[in-house]
Chains A and B, each alone.
Chain A
Amino acid sequence: MNKPKKVLVLGSGAIKIGEAGEFDFSGSQALKSLREERIETVLVNPNIATIQTDSRIADRIYFLPVTHYFVEKVIEKEKPDGILLGFGGQTALNCGVELYDSGVLKKHGVRVLGTPVETIKATEDRELFVKKLTEIELKTPKGIAVDGIGLALKAAEVIGYPVMVRSAYALGGLGSRLCRNSGELKEAAEMAFSHTKQILVEEYLNKWKEVEYEIVRDAYDNCITVCNMENLDPMGIHTGDSIVVAPSQTLTNNEYHKLRAISIKLIRHLGIVGECNIQFALEPSSDDYRIIEVNARLSRSSALASKATGYPLAFVAAKLALGYSLTEIKNSITKKTIACFEPSLDYVVVKMPRWDLKKFRNISRRIGSQMKSVGEVMAIGRKFEEALQKAVRMTDIGAHGIVCNDFSYDIERELAEPSDERIFAVAEAVKIGYSCEEISKLTGIDEWFLHKIKNITEFEEKLRKNDFDGTGRELLLQAKQLGFSDKQLSIIFNVSYLDVKRKRDELGIRPAVKQIDTLAAEYPAQTNYLYLTYNSDEDDVKFEEKKKVIVLGSGVYRIGSSVEFDWCCVNAVLTLKDLGYTTIMINYNPETVSTDYDVCDKLYFEEISFETVIEIYEKENPDGIIVSMGGQIPNNIAVKLENYGAKIIGTPAKSIDNAEDRYKFSKLLDELGIAQPEWKGLTNYEEARGFANRVGYPILVRPSYVLSGAAMNVAFTDADLETYLTRASKVSQEHPVVISKFMVNSKEIEIDAVAKNGEIVAEAITEHVENAGVHSGDATMVYPGHELYEDSVEKVKSISAAIAGRLRITGPFNIQFLAKENEVMVIECNLRASRSFPFVSKVGKNNMIETATKVMMGVDVNCKAADIKHVGIKSPQFSFSRLTGADPISTVEMASTGEVACLGDDVNGAFLKALMAAGFKLPKKNVLLSLGGEVNKEKLLESAKKLEGMGYNLFATHKTSTFLKENNIENTMLHKIGEDTSPNIKEYLSKDKLDLIINIPIEYTASELADGYTMRRKAADFAIPLITNRQLARLFVDALSSKKIEELDIKAWNEY
């Protein structure tokens, strides 16, 4: 075996729709796998919140954009002799192919490990792909690859409408669409060609079953299929947006093994070395099939398959890339058998997507061939009904299961045109008498799944015929076996969930703990990868360990909560391990590293709900639970857990309540004499209106206990206020809604800190580039702050100290401030780790989670204030191109799906790198300015001059153009899209003539936003960089004018 000495691994960058935490998981596994071989690792990944970018995982870490330019620079500097392309999603794969094509890899003697690039190309280029498959007589959908719109239309004539349009080298079905006629095709093709050079016009496999196989091959031609998965939703709904079940449920032996054999034949023919994923369409009324696509890399599905089976696909794939045979690798669960086998499951796994579509303005809620979900959950059970109901709850959208929800739908429409709520509509349809056969015809969902859903709805009705006291053991047990939660039962019986818990305890109805062991109990498992089920009589494990701590994970990724909290959880677990504790992790998100069973001592792949956590707590009897690492989900159940007698480690639950409850917290600030925007607890609309008119709009409406501004809104009018109040009180029924004066033109400052018994032991103060009004999750953050007044910093520190003292904080916390002139006001406080903890920890090289965990466990720490010479900038990553119709603008409701951070010797350099890392392309020549209002125009005048000075061609909308001309800045006026006059923005957008659009609305009112909407939306559709914030625009122009790309420093983390 010719093992390399130094290997470069490419990460996937920011979390975006289609590329999420799963690549932190696969990258981390690959890096661990290499480290075990004593191979030096170099990692390029600007996603600073990932676990893979920790020094425990990789040797040399570059927080740089995963693009040809930067990776080449890193190669020149590090001189690796091998590179892995398959562990950083489509981003890494595309970048790797470019580096190969341009000869950079060859020039520097970098060997591509694992699947050869030519094979990768054969899977990515549709024409090549079809050719390859035809060679071995495998079937693909009838399709024609084209590179122009005219050819696309011709192709569709040949195939016949409806057709599917798909892009080559695309991610998450980007640009793929169902087209019923030439008009739709023209539009879809136009859009697709803005992202890709080649598209495929394909036959539409309406309502065929969608089945996936995860396959592994080594260099000795050994092949295994690690997992197969069946989509509950048929073809036409992107697999990322489908409910997926593992293993397949409705396939016979013949079908299962036919597809398996085809998969193996294909992977051999292609010459994959490592892992790949194959997607099939299977005709529901015969065993006819089509191969839809092959992903010659680790994928979302492979992460799911790893978690579903316990088979560490990425870890194994990395070993295979080095030249090992499958027979030389041990099964890491049994530690006795080998990795050359196919896992056998004795449970069923249900994956469900999580959408956040409600957060976006103007978006279409319909789901289809383009992925829109931002996260996913995985539930495990021994009945499908049990797993399905768990999965629904895990998505954390306020649903208690398949039934007992307070939703309403247009059932007919949902069945015909699915949205993110279809599964509930299906259950409702079953309830009101649609037959499973009818629903299956309408939706393409196999009847088997529908019958299972019917089991749930029928059982609910059965339960409703009983009263609580009369419900006996048998009925209650059956309910639990079908996945009904205590909460659902409490709704059905109109009692409290604690009454249900009490009754269960009395009747001895408790879940059993089962192990995932890859071999269905044929061999004993040596790892504690666990789940709970009521369909069992026996616990697989013992609970004898002493000195143990439960850490609650972050749950499902959604806008506002993603890999950052996983980083916090994993670091807490690792610190606890170092301190000698047995660590227990509870989490259910398959895209995380915390759910890798080798991170903690015991992993419960389970719901993070009061009910489940208490069941585990009562079995394990640990020293306590840490709720402050996983973000809002664990935080929200802290009080309930403590009230039930569970020990919460760190800040007392009562304090958490005092910070989370907006009313209590605002009162507390008043008591402490700390400034805050004028506020009022909500009693009724009339009073709220009175308050609003007194202090003046805009008014911020905020429910309690929410993350990332869910249902947080800024009201500009009485009508807004009424709408938002209704919405907010629905989101936080159990907790008060507070309204406050919304401060504009203020600077935002945040502190991330750790306190011990109310005294701060570590802190980091960051500054937002954007003024208040942009959600902190969408803001560009600078650390250490570069434009803060000394005085403001002192105030931030003293206020934080006062709050920490009053709330007796022990552990991590975050406070957000507004600074205007000399005043500093508090707007928000969270007694938990925040999104920015990994950012400040890594920029400051001071792991604040390690510190927090230590103080929570009573260990002394000694933190010196860091003297940071460099600067870190965190930039948001948006996924607007996938969110059809959504207005690509940042407001108080968070819209970004992820973030990146880059380091630099100065702000300008770090900022340019961060922007590029978030996918922003620096403009070449044409820039469009559309500046709303006088202030924006005046404040950006200097920037416009700089742009002109740098030689950019400026275009501007009507008033902006006049203003610029008055100030002697040369520009071309473009008419707005709505106008029919030339020259029009429209022509410039569709002809790909603009490199950057700077569009700053006057204010974020609905009517103001409507004006520039079409332009912004088109920018997103045509992948034109867009800036919508004045402060950001100014910083951008400053940075652009101060540095050339060649002048940006290329340094590893440890070189700062």
Chain B
Amino acid sequence: MAKLILSDNTTFEGKPFGADASVFGEVVFNTGMVGYPESLTDPSYRGQILVLTYPLIGNYGVPGDEKDEFGLVKNFESEKIQVSGLIISDYSEKYSHWNAKKSLSDWLKEHNVLGIYGIDTRMLTKKLRENGVMLGKIINGSGYVELSDPNLRNLVAEVSVKDKTVYNKGGGKKIVLVDCGAKLNIIRSLIKRGCEVIRVPWNYDFPKEEFDGLLISNGPGDPKMADITIKNVAAAMEKDIPVFGICLGNQIMALAAGGNTYKMKYGHRSQNQPCIENGSKRCYITTQNHGYAVDMKSLGNGWEEWFVNANDGTNEGLRHRTKPFMSVQFHPEAAPGPVDAEWIFDKFLEMVK
């Protein structure tokens, strides 16, 4: 037996799987139907307990952790499971896939993460939708854990790399990737386009590096916690260095430009968010994972809204009218999710002279 207890004391009973631990975090839901290995390793989920609304999880097991020629793990978005806990409806103990190496439960166990299944995830999701995201904990058996708010921690610092790493050295354009919790597919996407990627910690003093373009990655939590990054980005923008932000990077760009961000009620976590490119009839289906958004009104005249969410009108991207700054709130690197917005990387590289 395991229990999910929300901060308002609502309790759901289910069965535990994965590690024998008890966990806490901010409870958020994702409506994507595929890609649990990618989602669970997405550093943006740091500090969060993830609810998957698709009820059947574990079906195709978990692939191995082999690395590619650039030293990146092939099958995941970071080297570990990032979520604090996992909440699902129906767990498939028996998995089936040619590329699977282990079950989801064994994988969770390896990373000391607890999962709970047998939960009415739809009921839970509706609750989160109505109340906004909530803190919660999963108690395994007679375990105990104290509830605390992960958003008060510097989550970006927790997930960022500790040292500078260079990938595809000698590649064409040199891109500094400020790792606020970067998904590995961002690096893969750049390498695929022939770039040399200089991955640096969130607080790295990158202006001292020699490079062609700057990419501020996705990452967990409140963008305002990444104060050093914001300052550094502002400095780079002063020098008109081409900057591209993804997700948290979009928010950091806005903050660096003097704008503001706010916490959304329950955020966007899914693979089906429609984003309209302003001034066109084009709409892109995007993958998203964020709980904060840019307040468009807070930005100065130099900025324009590039993309807007077709469902709720929130900001989905920014562009400077005259300078080489652009950012998107969604994930052009996908993983998991649709790859329709991959062209944004090309757009960025066009901007990088």
Interface set of A (CB-CB < 8 Å, partner B): 218, 220-224, 247-253, 256-257, 260-261, 264, 284-286, 325-328, 336-338, 340-348, 382-384, 436, 446-448, 451-452, 454, 512, 514, 519-524, 535-538, 540
Contacts and interface: CB of A to CB of B under 8 A. Distances in A.
Contact of A536 (B34, B38, B122, B274): B122
A519 B96 CA distance: 27
A253 B98 contact: no
B169 to A, nearest CB: 27
A436 to B, nearest CB: 8
Contacts of B280: 220
Contacts of B99: 252
A327 B90 contact: no
Contacts of B324: none
A253 B333 CA distance: 13
B193 interface: no
A751 B82 CA distance: 71
B56 A325 contact: no
B118 to A, nearest CB: 8
Nearest to A515: B122
Contacts of B92: 448, 451-452
B120 A538 contact: yes
A663 B127 CA distance: 57
Contact of A257 (B29, B95, B334): B334
B31 interface: yes
B81 to A, nearest CB: 16
Interface residues of B, number: 52
B281 A327 contact: yes
A319 to B, nearest CB: 14
A673 B24 CA distance: 80
Nearest to A343: B272
Given A336-B311, A346-B121, A520 B94 contact: no
A337 B34 CA distance: 22
Q: Which 6 A-B pairs rank lowest in CB-CB distance, beginning with the nearest?
A: A253-B35, A451-B94, A448-B96, A520-B31, A520-B53, A447-B96
B330 to A, nearest CB: 13
B55 interface: yes
A254 to B, nearest CB: 9
Contacts of B95: 448
Contacts of A248: 34
Contacts of A451: 92, 94, 96
B56 A384 contact: yes
A250 B59 contact: yes
Nearest to B92: A448
Given A341-B285, A446-B96, A522-B31, A327 B310 contact: yes
Contact of A252 (B60, B120, B122): B60
Given A384-B56, A535-B55, A340 B122 contact: no
Nearest to B98: A285
Contacts of A383: 55-56, 90
A341 B34 contact: no
Contact of B59 (A249, A326, A337, A538): A249
Contact of A521 (B53, B98, B336): B53
Given A327-B276, A340-B283, A538-B120, A252 B35 contact: yes
Contact of B34 (A251, A382, A452, A519): A251
Contacts of B53: 344, 346, 520-522
Contact of B310 (A338, A345, A384, A448): A338
Interface string B63-101: 100000000000000000000000001101011111100
B56 A341 contact: no
A256 B32 CA distance: 12
Contacts of A340: 274, 283, 285, 310
Contact of B283 (A222, A249, A251): A222
Nearest to A222: B283
Interface stretch (B134-142, B175-183, B337-345): B337-345
Given A340-B283, A514-B122, A520-B53, A257 B33 contact: no
B271 to A, nearest CB: 7
A714 B53 CA distance: 55
Contacts of B29: 521-522
B305 to A, nearest CB: 16
A336 B309 CA distance: 13
16 contacts: A220-B280, A223-B340, A247-B34, A250-B96, A252-B37, A252-B97, A252-B99, A256-B33, A325-B281, A340-B274, A341-B273, A342-B338, A348-B55, A383-B56, A520-B125, A524-B129
A454 B276 CA distance: 46
B38 to A, nearest CB: 5
Given A250-B96, A383-B90, A346 B55 contact: yes
B60 A344 contact: no
Interface of B: 12, 29, 31-35, 37-38, 53-56, 59-60, 63, 89-90, 92, 94-99, 120-123, 125-126, 129, 270-274, 276, 280-283, 285, 310-311, 334-340
B31 A535 contact: no
Contacts of B122: 346, 382, 514, 520-521, 536, 538, 540
A519 B31 contact: yes
Contacts of B54: 247, 344-346, 520
A55 B85 CA distance: 56
A173 B111 CA distance: 49
Contacts of A436: 94
Contacts of B59: 249-250, 448
Contact of B56 (A260, A338, A348): A348
B335 A253 contact: yes
B287 to A, nearest CB: 9
Contact of B271 (A344, A447, A536): A344
Contacts of A285: 98
Contacts of A348: 55-56
Given A250-B59, A344-B53, A535-B90, A521 B125 contact: yes
Contacts of B94: 436, 447-448, 451, 454
A574 to B, nearest CB: 31
A346 B31 CA distance: 8
Nearest to A348: B56
B11 to A, nearest CB: 11
Contact of A247 (B33, B126, B310): B33
A221 to B, nearest CB: 7
A523 B310 contact: no
Contacts of A326: 283
Contact of A537 (B38, B56, B120): B120
Given A252-B34, A538-B120, A338 B336 contact: no
Contacts of B311: 336-338, 341, 523
A342 B271 contact: yes
B44 to A, nearest CB: 16
B274 A253 contact: no
A860 to B, nearest CB: 45
B98 A341 contact: no
B31 A338 contact: no
Contacts of B335: 253
Contacts of B56: 249, 348, 383-384
Contacts of A284: 98
B125 A222 contact: no
Contact of A342 (B96, B285, B336): B285
A382 B52 CA distance: 13
A540 B120 CA distance: 12
Nearest to B128: A521
B55 to A, nearest CB: 5
A286 B123 contact: no
Contacts of A512: 120
Given A250-B96, A448-B96, 11 more contacts: A221-B282, A247-B33, A252-B35, A257-B334, A340-B285, A342-B338, A344-B270, A344-B271, A345-B33, A383-B90, A384-B56
A922 B274 CA distance: 53
B310 A257 contact: no
Contacts of B55: 346-348, 382-383, 535
